[in-house]
Structure 1
Amino acid sequence: MATMILPRSAQHVSASSAVSHLPDGTEAVAEIAAAIGTGADMYTVFVSAGYDLDAVGAALKQHFGDRVIGCTSSGNIGPNGYDRSGICAAGFTGGGLRIHTTAVGPLDDTATAVEQAGSALAAMRAELGDDGEGFAILLTDGLTRNEDLLAANLMAALGDVPIVGGSAGDDLTFSHTAVLHDGKFLANTATVTLVRADAPFRLLRLQHHDLTDTVLVATEVDAGRRIIRQFNGRPAASAYAEAVGADLAEIGPITFSTHPLLLKAGGSSWIRSIAAVNEDGSLNMLARVDTGDVLRLGRPVGMLDKLAERFDAVGAELGSIRAMLAFDCILRRLEFEERGLADEVGAFLAEHQAIGFSTYGEQFNGMHMNQTLVAVAFG
């Protein structure tokens, strides 16, 4: 088991983190609790595939009570950097940190679920007051295919409260993802955690793909199921393969992570990643695309440079980064692995106190996206 302990103080949010690779979930949680203690103000936990989630949930409730949030993952970010297995947890303490969590679901009807949680969300927003400093952490089932609507509706409900979060994963098996609430891992559910802090913090969003001049217009889609059937009036998979200069039979996860699609909206670009090619030549997407959306092919640029520049800028704003909660798309890690950079990027994240997990999608304010790192850094 690897452990990272950071200094604690009343003026700053600090974190202690640990990862356990014990195969028994109850024993793994006990090992983590022994390493990081049970007196923190907020705990986060991310569970890779293969664990008995009922046992893990019960153990987390026993050790950390109602101060813990978490979900299943496609690998974790912890004291070892990227870690494809095990359970990773962190305890955040100090800086006037207070949290309040509510569950939102079932997510089959996202708008209704958010509406039903309206009074709880309004009470959370009221806790901040007019001058309160805080943000919301959104963790959601990564297989419901409705994070776009969820993030937008939650942003409307919470008003000016910034949102950061990620979609639960299951190591690319796409069979079962779940979020933790009250000692249980629940599918078809999201949790929203309002975090109030007196210490300074910054939310950040980072992607390392730039727009190219190659345009693909979504001319036939099934938006609700996140399927693109045609680009520019042609079968979507064939049009995409031609755009990246590959044979249709050759395209797969590495192609998708290297050449994602970007949508321009709100003065910025947002990645819409491809999940898979269907037998009929359509494409399964990891974010919503609507008919008529103009997408541009992306190209990777300065992976490590962009990461270092962004972290340096945030560190300069905060004085230093003392703790960070990070949500990092699984496709980013796959691309780093393909290019032999995963160990270096993972070490960089660990050096900057990042704790988090590899996601099936990321949320930043009212937007859902892919192949992006979103995080909250505490100074």
Structure 2
Amino acid sequence: MTSTPWAFSETSQPLKAASSSASDPWQAARELATQLNHPDLRWVVFFCSAEYPLPQLAQALNTEFAGQELVGCTTAGELGLQGYAQGSITALGFSQQAFSLAITLIQPLENFSLASAQQEVNQLLEISKQNFSGQGRHFAMTLFDGLSSQEELVLVALNAALGGIPHFGGSAGDDIRLANTHVFVKGAFHNRAAVLILFTTQLPFEVFTTHHMQPLETKLVVTEADAAQRRVYELNARPAAEVYAELTAIPIEQLSPLTFALNPLAVKLGQDFYVRSIQQVHADLSLTFYCAVGKGSVLTAMQPQPLLPDLQQCFARIRERIGKPLMTLGCDCFLRRLESEQQGEKEAASAFLRKHRVIGFNTYGEHHAGLHINQTFTGVVLGEGDASH
């Protein structure tokens, strides 16, 4: 298959999307490479189902993209050329004419300090300076092992080190198995690790986060918890799962990811509510969350609204500010996809993602401005702007 060179002209673009639903890793990698093939391709950001045999997928991707730098993670679902997808791989290719991507692996995550964060950020800024001619602006993306439970610690340090550089990201998934989640960098998949990507571009962009939740009157106080393990033992001085089951009017043994998606809890910071999604129920009636929840926290019961009106308003506002969108790199909580399926909104949501050229993945948690959050849609909209420099 021949491909058009990806140089800047009125008929070309500075970045390009690709997707493959092939289950064979070599075929999937070849299909991505065919779709992204052009002389200016320098970096590829990809998101893949955890169903792939990861060592073979790594080998296939490294072979097919021998001249490019690859970074990515496993998912709880993909956002690709067809909208919502599962069991697939999706990717975004970046031209060296329009972008610089400076990438680093953060491992180990434990005891990650502000000094370490500053060192990593400074190195990435230096690489960007060498890669990118012209006066570009920066934004940062983080990808985490979604079962590492280290997001809060690392994100706070990185946010301080990034200063005014806008930041977003997502935590890797494994198709809701809650067994192994991975990030990919330096030619291999890693767990107990994170990736920091510093993007530099002259294209207009806006980093955003949005959710479709409305607060209810009900408040629950966390009276016993282990914040480091994200485990809540008591709500209102009673077993946590018991209180939550009463709130939802669903028996404890029937609590499921769908229950958690349709009956979220949130903490209020300033004037904004941030969802703290439940991951699982334990035999001792404690609850593990996807985000840290400390003793003394007040959780507010939230009521999901229809997904689409919030997304439509969010994207319309961004378009007013940055002009016509070119592509969106997005991190969408997997609970939102479950909810859209249950509420009969999945096809409409998929059509919206296709129309707005959203490439990304369903996450086990989203990152924005140094915060680890749940049940949001978070990302960066890249505008068309003037591609020449």
Aligned pair count?
371
CA contact (8 A) 1:219 1:231 kept: yes
The equivalent of 2:60 in structure 1 is 59
The verdict on how the C-alpha distance between 1:169 and 1:312 changes in structure 2, with shifts beyond 3 A counting, is same
The Cα of 1:374 is off from its aligned counterpart by: 0.3
TM-score, normalised via structure 2 length? 0.90
Q: Give the equivalent residue in structure 2 for 1:176.
A: 180
Partner of 1:138 in structure 2?
142
CA contact (8 A) 1:202 1:377 kept: yes
Which residue, 196, 203, 207 being the options, matches 2:200?
196
1:42 and 1:91 in contact (8 A); partners too: yes
How far off its partner does 1:302 sit?
Answer: 3.1
1:292 is paired with a residue whose SS is coil
CA–CA distance in structure 1, aligned partners of residues 233 and 307 of structure 2: 31
> Residue 18 of structure 1 aligns with which residue?
18
Q: Is the 8 A contact 2:118 2:158 kept in 1?
A: no
Structure 2 residue 33 is the aligned partner of structure 1 residue 33: yes
Give the alignment partner of residue 108 of structure 2, picking from 106, 109, 130. 106
CA distance in 1: counterparts of 2:219 and 2:375, whole angstroms = 19
Corresponding residue number in structure 2 for 1:248 = 252
Q: 1:93 aligns with which of 68, 92, 95?
A: 95
Q: Give runs of aligned pairs for residues 289-328 of structure 1, distance below 5 A.
A: 289-328=293-332
Structure 2 match to 1:370: 374
Q: Report the secondary structure of 1:160's partner residue.
A: coil
Query: 1:329-373 deviations in whole A, cap 9, x for unaligned?
Result: 100000001111112101101110100011111000110011111
Normalized against structure 1, the TM-score is what? 0.92
Identical-pair percentage? 35
Q: Cα–Cα, structure 1 residues 86 and 110, in superposed 2: closer, same or farther, change >3 Å?
A: farther
Q: Deviations over 1:66-123 (max 9, x none)?
A: 532210111100111000111111213377311100110112x1425x6446423222
Contact 2:20–2:28 (CA under 8 A) maintained in structure 1: yes
Q: CA deviation at 1:239?
A: 0.9
Distance 1:179 1:231, change over 3 A: same
The partner residue of 1:285 within 283, 286, 289 is 289
- How far has the Cα of 1:265 moved from its partner? 1.3
Aligned to 2:386: none
User: What SS does the corresponding residue of 2:325 show, helix, strand or coil?
Assistant: coil
User: C-alpha separation between the residues in 2 aligned to 1:10 and 1:120?
Assistant: 35
SS of aligned partner of 1:349? helix
Distance 1:115 1:177, change over 3 A: farther
Contact kept, 8 Å, 1:13 with 1:323, in 2: the verdict is no
Residue 332 in 1 paired to residue 336 in 2?
A: yes
Equivalent AA in structure 1 for residue 336 of structure 2: R
Q: Return the offset for 1:321.
A: 1.1
> How far apart, CA to CA, are the structure 2 residues paired with 1:95 and 1:298?
45
Q: For 1:178 and 1:306, how far apart are their aligned partners in 2?
A: 30
**Equivalent residue for 2:350?**
346
Paired with 2:95 and 2:370, the residues of 1 have a C-alpha distance of 28
Q: CA deviation at 1:44?
A: 1.3
Q: What's the secondary structure of 2:112's corresponding residue?
A: helix
Paired position in structure 1 for 2:132: none
Distance in 2 (CA, whole Å) between partners of 1:9 and 1:329 is 34
> Tell me, which stretches of 5 or more residues in structure 1 are unaligned?
none
Distance 1:160 1:241 in 2: 42
**How far does the alpha carbon of each residue in 1:273-306 deviate from its partner, in whole angstroms, 9 at most, with x for none?**
0011111111010000011011101101232111
Query: Match of 2:209?
Result: 205
Alpha-carbon contact 2:146-2:173 (below 8 Å) kept: yes
Deviation at 1:248, TM superposition (A): 2.5
SS at match of 1:216: strand
Residues 13/219 of structure 1: CA separation in 2 closer, same or farther (3 Å cut):
farther
Distance (whole Å) between structure 1 residues aligned to residue 172 and residue 243 of structure 2: 30
Shift of 1:225: 0.7
* Bigger shift: residues 254-263 or 20-29: 20-29
CA contact (8 A) 2:330 2:361 kept: yes
Q: Is the 8 A contact 1:125 1:158 kept in 2?
A: no
- Quote how far apart the aligned CAs of 1:63 are: 3.2
Aligned-partner residue type, residue 367 of structure 2? Q
Kept in 2, the 8 Å contact 1:137–1:164? The answer is yes
What is the distance in 2 between the residues matched to 1:8 and 1:307? Answer: 32
Which ranges in structure 2 are unaligned for 5 or more consecutive residues?
130-134, 384-389
